[in-house]
């Protein structure tokens, strides 16, 4: 006799507000667990309700502190596996260590693959991620990976924000982001431009040239990650210097480390529109920052997985 597997939704400590949005959209309560630390920093997790035979979804962005949040997730997966759950689905809105996805130089690690190995070894049965830094990371896993994208949500925001799309140009801050920029441009039915830049050393970007017509245009910069904000703010300044009417910036993951907030505040960026994959404290939010909720998108993916329905409709 077939028995429906109960759904259990857990949130760890990296992005509780997003997890609550997902739970509300699904119409379920977050299942109970506690995350504590011993005096030496070791993580202790207690699952406070039965999960035997359940289909479990765990939400945890591996954002800063990256190592703590990743280790907490691995310990949670191990605890669930030992509690006889049916399936462990790991929802990672922001996948840390994704930027080290290949050997750019000799003797470098590929940490995106290492994290994939750790998640699988811990006991994950499926990964749900949003806007991975590199698409090939899906192939680092030997388990299913559902790769969601925030571009449609960003596109809907700008459709409501900007009235005349004939004035709009979507801009990629580098050659590597052209595919992402093209997807947003297609959704908005606008042309694209590309910023040609050279990066002399890590976290430093030098803008060199702009390919495409941006003079007198409303420019929308789009990137997957804004970390120290050097690339995006230099790009915005280059666009303004070359005659752009207004500059908006958008991203899937607002890491905002180092001097990012100061750079964004002092830049010509009119608004920074970002998906809420990373929980940003109120004291780090600027007036020009606009969060977009991806909770409904994640909830739809969870619902479809739980009911054995195709997830592809969410990102086709």
Q: Which residues are catalytic?
A: 197
Asked if 306 and 87 touch (Cβ cutoff 8 Å), the reply is no
Q: Which residues contact 206 (CB under 8 A, 6 or more apart)?
A: 197, 198, 199, 200, 234
Residue 230 labelled as part of a binding site: yes
Residue 296 labelled as part of a binding site: no
Residue 223 labelled as part of a binding site: yes
Measured at the alpha carbon of residue 138, what is the angle toward residues 100 and 230, in degrees to the nearest 5? 35
What ranges in 83-148 are assigned the alpha helix state H?
111-122
Structure-token pair, residue 123: 């006991």
Residue 174 labelled as part of a binding site: yes
Helix (H) or strand (E) holding 294: none
Asked if 124 and 88 touch (Cβ cutoff 8 Å), the reply is yes
Residue 199 labelled as part of a binding site: yes
Residue 111 labelled as part of a binding site: no
Return the closest-CA partner of residue 316 out of 141, 98, 151: 151
Residue 99 labelled as part of a binding site: yes
Distance CA 287, CA 2 (A): 53
Alpha-carbon torsion, ordered 257, 261, 262, 268, to 10 deg: 130
Residue 27 labelled as part of a binding site: no
Residue 100 labelled as part of a binding site: yes
Return the closest-CA partner of residue 89 out of 312, 237, 303, 313: 303
Query: Phi/psi of residue 217, each to 5°?
Result: -100, 160
Q: Tell me the three state secondary structure of residue 88.
A: strand
Asked if 25 and 296 touch (Cβ cutoff 8 Å), the reply is yes
Return the closest-CA partner of residue 55 out of 312, 308, 296: 308
Residue 40 labelled as part of a binding site: yes
Helix (H) or strand (E) holding 80: helix 66-82
Give the other-Cβ count within 10 Å of 136's Cβ. 12
Detail the residues annotated as belonging to a binding site for Mg(2+). Answer: 133, 174
Q: Residues within the annotated binding site for D-ribose 5-phosphate?
A: 199, 223, 227-231
Q: Which residues are annotated as a binding site for ATP?
A: 40-42, 99-100
Binding residues: 40-42, 99-100, 133, 174, 199, 223, 227-231
């Amino acid at each position: 006799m077939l028995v429906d597997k109960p759904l259990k939704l857990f949130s760890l400590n990296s992005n509780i507000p997003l997890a609550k949005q997902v739970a509300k959209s699904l119409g379920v309560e977050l299942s109970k667990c506690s995350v504590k630390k011993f005096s030496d920093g070791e993580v202790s997790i207690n699952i406070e309700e039965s999960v035997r035979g359940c289909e479990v979804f765990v939400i945890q962005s591996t954002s800063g502190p990256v190592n703590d949040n990743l280790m907490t997730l691995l310990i949670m997966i191990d605890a669930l596996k030992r509690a006889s759950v049916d399936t462990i689905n790991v929802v990672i809105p922001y996948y840390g260590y994704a930027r080290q996805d290949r050997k750019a130089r000799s003797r470098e690690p590929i940490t995106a693959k290492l994290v994939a190995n750790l998640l699988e070894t811990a006991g994950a049965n499926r990964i749900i991620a949003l806007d991975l830094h590199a698409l090939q990371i899906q192939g680092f896993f030997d388990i299913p990976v559902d790769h969601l994208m925030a571009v449609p949500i960003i596109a809907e925001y700008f459709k409501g924000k900007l009235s005349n799309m004939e004035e709009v140009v979507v801009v990629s801050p580098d050659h590597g982001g052209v595919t992402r920029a093209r997807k947003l441009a297609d959704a908005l039915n606008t042309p694209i431009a590309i910023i040609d830049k050279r990066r002399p050393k890590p976290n430093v970007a030098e803008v060199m040239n702009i390919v495409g017509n941006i003079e007198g245009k409303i420019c929308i910069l789009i990137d997957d990650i804004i970390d120290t904000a050097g690339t995006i703010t230099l790009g915005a300044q280059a666009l303004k210097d070359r005659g752009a009417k207004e500059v908006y910036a958008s991203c899937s993951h607002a890491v905002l480390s180092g001097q990012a907030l100061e750079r964004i505040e002092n830049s010509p960026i009119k608004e920074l529109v970002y998906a809420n994959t990373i929980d940003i404290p109120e004291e780090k939010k600027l007036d020009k920052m606009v969060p977009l909720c991806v909770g409904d998108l994640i909830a739809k993916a969870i619902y479809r997985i739980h009911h054995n329905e195709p997830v592809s409709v969410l990102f086709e």
